[in-house]
Amino acid sequence: MAKQTTASSRPFFYPQAGAALHCGEVSIESLARRFGTPLYVYSGDQIAGRLGLFQQALAGREHLVCYAVKANSALAILRLLAARGAGFDIVSGGELQRVLAAAPEAASRVVFSGAGKTEAEIDLALQSGILQFNVESEAELKLLAARARKLKVRARFALRVNPDVFAETHPYISTGLSEHKFGIAIDRARAIYKEAANERWLEAHGVSVHIGSQIRSAGPFGAAVARVAGLVRTLRRAGIALKAIDAGGGLGIDYHALVATATQPVHAQKNGPCDATVKVAEYAAALEEALGGFDGRLLIEPGRFLVAPAGALVARVLYVKRNGKKTFVITDAAMNDLIRPALYQAWHEIAPVRPRAGRPRAVDVVGPVCESGDFFAHDRKLAPIAPGDLLTVLDAGAYGMAQSSNYNSRPRPAEALVEGAKARLIRRRETVADLLAPELL
C-alpha cells in the first residue's frame, strides 16, 4: 500500500495499480455502497494530524489553536478536535451552539469573531463563558458593555484591528485592507482601549487580526502580526497590558496537487503538495519573529488547512453527453453540494475512484442543477468515464458541506468519517421531508 503521511499529504490515494481510490485504509467504493452518493468523506486521522502540526510547531510558547468552525461545522469533527485540545473560532450564535452540542467543556476555548453579532448572540456567548469576543466596531463594543452590565458577566474582548496588509488571494476572501468591512483601523485602536478601561464589565484581554484566506506564504502573516505586536507594546507603555494576540487564520493549501499512487507517492511527485510540516513551521517561525518578545498567549484560527485536504465529495456519473465539440460528464452531485467552483472559479482535483484505461480527453464535469454555473471543472483532461462510474472531487473538506444548500429542492449529501480502518456515518442524507418540515401551508 502506498505510504501516506496523514498530516502532510492527502489521505486519498490509490494503494496499488488497478485498485480503487482509498481514504486511508477504507475503499471509496465500499463507502459509496454503504452510504450512497453524493457523499462527503473525511479522514479523521488527517484532521487530527494537522492540528498536531500546529500544536507541535508552537509548543515553545503558550498558545491555543482555535479551529475556524465556518470551514466545516460537522459535530463529529468539532468533537474530534475538542478532544485533542483545540479551541474554536466562531462567527455566529449557531456555531457556538454547535460547539456546545459537540463539546460543552470547550466553551472556555471559544473566540467569537464576525462583524454583525446580535444582542441574542452576545448574551448566549456571555452566559456560556467564552474566552474572548473579537470586536469589530466601536458600536459593537458599546453593545457588548451594555449586555455584560445587564447580565453582570465580565466580558473579555480583543479589538480586531485592520493592519492594511495586502495578501495575494481571491478578492472575496481578502479581509485585511482598509477598504474591507472587517475590523477597526489600527491607528484608532489605542484610543478605544483607553476608553474601554473605564467600563467595569469589560476586560481588555487581547488584540486580534485576520487578513484573509487561502494565503500560501508566511510573509503577510508576519507583517500583520508585527503591526499588532507594535500596538501591544504601545498599549503596555500606556498601562494597558494585553494577555493575548490572536493572529487569525488563512493559511492556504495546494488545490492542484496530484493524487498519490503506489508507484508515485505524494512526496515524490513533481507537482505534489508542499509538505504541510514545512509550511506550518514557516508560518510559526514568521509569527514568532513578528511577536518581538511578546510573552502572552498566542491564538491562531486555522480552518481550511486543517480540514480541506481531509475531505472529498464522492459523486456517481449519470450521463456522458456530447454537445458539438464539448463532452459533458453529468454527475449526481451539483453546485448546491459544492459551490466553490461556481462561486470562486476554484480548482478542485477530480479523481475517478477506479480509473479506466485509455487516452485522457477534455470534459466538463457538471451537475444536474438548472444553472449554467453548475460545474466542477471545465475542459478537464480525465481518463475515459462511463455512466455509473464514481468520481471524487478532492480537497472539499472546507467550505463544501458548510456552504451547501437545497437549491432546486435537492436534499444535501450524507457525510462519513474515516478513522483507521473504520468508517461511520456522521450525518444522514437529507430527505425531501426534511426540506418541507419547516414550511406552512
User: Helices 186-196 and 138-151 sit at what angle, rounded to 10 degrees?
Assistant: 20
> Distances in Å between the alpha carbon of 108 and those of 67, 111, 374, 400?
14, 9, 41, 28
| Phi, psi of 271, rounded to the nearest 5 degrees | -110, 25
Of 64, 133, 69, 136, give the one whose Cα is nearest residue 97. 69
DSSP character for 48?
H
> Distances in Å between the alpha carbon of 103 and those of 130, 153, 305, 367, 393?
13, 22, 22, 36, 30
Give strand ranges (E) for 164-215: 184-185, 202-208
CB 167 within 8 A of CB 176: yes
CA–CA separation, 48 and 46 (whole Å): 5
CB 270 within 8 A of CB 25: no
CA–CA separation, 289 and 301 (whole Å): 18
The residues that are catalytic are 370
